Structure 1
């Protein structure tokens, strides 16, 4: 997943609200969101190749979502990043997820990542480029992409131009998704879905063999849980409420992938 937008502690009824596009290789299949595990109950899509996930939440109100992190470091991907997201979805809080992430990066090496973890009380982005660091979010709208976390930008030497373009696109998304006055979380998510599918912002991708495969809209709160999912690029695929009754073969993402391999 390559664009993740988090509105944290912005809406009283949903302290965690997320709008995110997943970019992947077109040939890599995955199963649309459903019950990923039962103890604790976690809701997430599933990568059929490595068995992990790139986005989801659990019964404790913990959200986790990952993007690539472009880096100059030479990393050996000993373990899928998607399995780390699945590990985090077993945590009972964003705070305790830190222990899971720190232990995992001590024992295994991963490709570079930005891993966002949030609940109603805390929100972080863990960055991995061979070393683990953490950005603590303040309340507001955050945008995370391969090259940037809000205003923290890394331009790898082999992708200077595209990384700068991506960071600029992320800033445009962040500005567009500033919450308007008394806007509700449902209204914000609807608007966010439109932004993620608007090619003016450059975050809905269509390339040869790679592209935006799916998009997720999530709201979490003490009395609010919403998850809508588009199994294809949001420019041409409608968001539908996620059903937790089954993960049928028909729920495999539509064919439209990109780089990432999470």
Structure 2
């Protein structure tokens, strides 16, 4: 993922709401959102190049998502796939805190990442940039390609648009979240972060929805989990406009 907007117990009646865009090179092979044959409790898309995933849910209230931390100077050749961290959590049964504590001593092998995990005990954030493991309190959060809640223009704009959408709705739908994810406003140069890529790329990467040469927003996902544990998840794949939609009991 490259943008994750989070309302964690931030709206009456809902445990968790996620609006997320996956940005990736167009040539990277991908399978859309679906249940996995080898572990049918996992509902996620799939990176067919490395076998991992960027975001998904599973039974017993499990959720996981990852973003890359953008710093070209830190890139390690031959580092293991970060998408496997999401896959392994969703396919396993370890509590989120145990999983993160066991992972933490090995995270320097990976290129930079931010990891969000949820289970029945709560929602957690971890990054290998600081080693932090943080239990999130109820509220609104944004995550892109820097640390949690770094005030990048796309993140601030996305959270503002999401709050505006949800505060108008007593019973929000996935379409309310997906609407936010199609915003293409480019940030002014003065507001762009300096992440080590050329200025032209900082501009291309600054909107919520990215459309750059050979790279961009491949899919958008909206997840709503009610206080009852009923989940509604929708993914739109932009290459063909296809829509995949699932209803399930998240805690079962």
Which residue does 1:241 correspond to in 2? Answer: 245
Q: Please, which of 147, 157, 167 is the counterpart of residue 180 of structure 1? A: 167
Q: Secondary structure at the match of 1:89?
A: helix
Asked if 1:218 corresponds to 2:223, the answer is yes
Asked if 1:43 corresponds to 2:43, the answer is yes
1:148 shift after superposition? 3.9
Which residue does 2:58 correspond to in 1? Answer: 58
Q: Assess if the C-alpha contact under 8 Å between 1:23 and 1:212 holds in 2.
A: yes
Asked if 1:132 corresponds to 2:119, the answer is no
The runs of 5 or more residues in structure 2 that have no matched partner are 187-206
1:80-117, CA deviations, whole angstroms, 9 ceiling, x for partnerless residues? 11111011113557xx2222233234246111111111
The runs of 5 or more residues in structure 1 that have no matched partner are 154-166, 245-262
Aligned counterparts, 1:65-144, within 5 A = 65-71=65-71, 73=74, 75=76, 78-92=79-93, 96-107=95-106, 109-119=109-119, 121-129=121-129, 131-144=130-143
TM, length-normalised to structure 2: 0.78
Which residue does 2:211 correspond to in 1? Answer: 206
Q: Assess if the C-alpha contact under 8 Å between 1:16 and 1:118 holds in 2.
A: no
Residues of 1 paired with 2:211 and 2:59: CA distance? 34
1:182 shift after superposition? 5.5
Q: Assess if the C-alpha contact under 8 Å between 2:22 and 2:217 holds in 1.
A: yes
- Cα separation, partners in 2 of 1:140 and 1:66, compared to 1, 3 Å: same
Structure ranking higher on relative contact order (CA contacts 8 Å, 6+ apart): 1
- Cα separation, partners in 2 of 1:57 and 1:231, compared to 1, 3 Å: same
- Cα separation, partners in 2 of 1:181 and 1:210, compared to 1, 3 Å: closer
Residues of 1 paired with 2:19 and 2:160: CA distance? 14
TM, length-normalised to structure 1: 0.75
How many residues end up aligned between the 2 structures? Answer: 223
